[in-house]
Amino acid sequence: MSHHHHHHDHTTGNIKVAFFLNFGFTIIEIIGGLMTNSMAILSDALHDLGDSLSLGLAWFLQKFSKKGKSDSFSFGYKRFSLLAALINSVVLIVGSIFILTEAIPRLLNPAQPNATGMILLAVLGIIVNGAAVFRLRGGESMNSKVMTWHLLEDVLGWVAVLIVSIIMFFADLPILDPIASIGITLYILYNVILNFVKTMRLFLEGVPENIDLDNIVKKINNLERVLSTHHTHLWSLDGEHHAFSTHIVVRPEASKKEVCDIKEEIKAIIKHIHLDHITIEIEYEDEYCSMLENERQEGADGYG
């Protein structure tokens, strides 16, 4: 558990660093956009300001999610990290749509900005936002993944600004600015929507991706001393920490040692999953279970 706690602290620290990097550069970006008379940079500054607010929220909720369980939240506060991912996804989607509404009209009436100033700001933007992405890379929680997309969008946006500004430095082609902005925004919007769908799936307590619950149930049912299983559930607290519960039916004469052995065998089957909570309910064949009765009345869920 100490290893996981260290990993969680590391994630929170990375989001904190990314927040200060992004917020500090946003201030520079606003000043630079005004000085270069570049609407593209000012639009990106507005988007970065939204990113900074999202990063601040992610930092707070990620830190808050480390709190232990309480009477009100018996599983702890890990799902608050998931809440940050959901809010940030919505913010990024709205921000991307706003950028599109600003960039598309510029296709009809492009303005020539200060290309030299744009080049300098673009290089600085790539360095600062690239450093923030580097800090957040490899995060397992949905919160970290969504925030990485926030910052990756900025990196790709500044790469586009750099290419466009270099071309405009030598040629009078201001229309390239809105074209690049639209292309990058559509690409990022696609990936953010995918992450939004994944986050909603976790919120609705769906089975985590890349985990085959049917296969797990089959392996448990194939154990020699297991007669059947039912009410088997696997869900995620924040995309990184999962919980598992199941009801196991055994023979009426099963001994305490056999029951303990069955539990160990089941834990061996699910040991590859990062589980924070495991509940294995043992029931004897002649024992009444209201959960099983409810499943039968509801048409069963395929795991009985």
> Does residue 302 sit within a domain?
no
What is the structure's pLDDT at 6? 43
- The last residue of one of the domains, among 203, 225, 244, is 203
Number of domains in the chain: 2
Cα 297 to Cα 288, 289, 294: the distances in Å are 15, 13, 5
Give the per-residue pLDDT at 3: 40
Rg of the chain over Cα atoms, rounded to whole angstroms, equals 25
pLDDT at 266: 93
Tens-binned pLDDT, residue by residue, of the chain (304 aa): 334 444 444 556 667 777 787 788 888 888 887 887 776 677 777 667 767 777 787 677 666 666 667 777 766 677 777 777 788 788 778 878 887 887 788 888 877 778 888 899 889 888 888 887 777 666 555 656 666 776 777 787 788 788 888 998 898 888 887 787 787 778 778 888 888 888 888 888 888 888 899 999 999 999 988 999 988 999 887 777 788 999 999 998 889 999 999 999 999 999 888 788 899 999 988 766 655 555 555 554 444 4
Instruction: Provide the 10 A C-beta neighbour count for residue 94.
Output: 11
Tell me what pLDDT residue 144 has. Answer: 65
Q: How far is CA 303 from CA 146, 243, 265, in A?
A: 33, 17, 18
Give the contacts of 72 (CB within 8 A, at least 6 positions apart): none
Number of other residues whose CB lies within 10 A of the CB of residue 210: 6
The tokens of 244 are what? 């598992």
Res 8: pLDDT: 47
Contact call for residues 219 and 253 (beta carbons, < 8 A)? no
CATH label of the domain that carries residue 74: 1.20.1510.10
Residues 199 and 227 in one domain: no
Say if residue 264 is exposed, middle or buried (CB neighbours under 10 Å; 0-12, 13-18, 19+).
exposed
Q: Is residue 174 part of a domain?
A: yes
Q: Give residue for tokens 């706690």.
A: 5
- One domain for residues 27 and 160: yes
Determine whether 275 is exposed, middle or buried from the number of CB atoms within 10 Å of its CB (0-12, 13-18, 19+): middle
Determine the pLDDT at residue 267.
93
Domain boundary among 171, 203, 235: 203
- Provide the pLDDT for residue 13: 63
Among the listed residues 196, 182, 29, 191, the one whose alpha carbon sits nearest the alpha carbon of residue 97:
182
List of residues 6+ apart from 194 with CB closer than 8 A: none
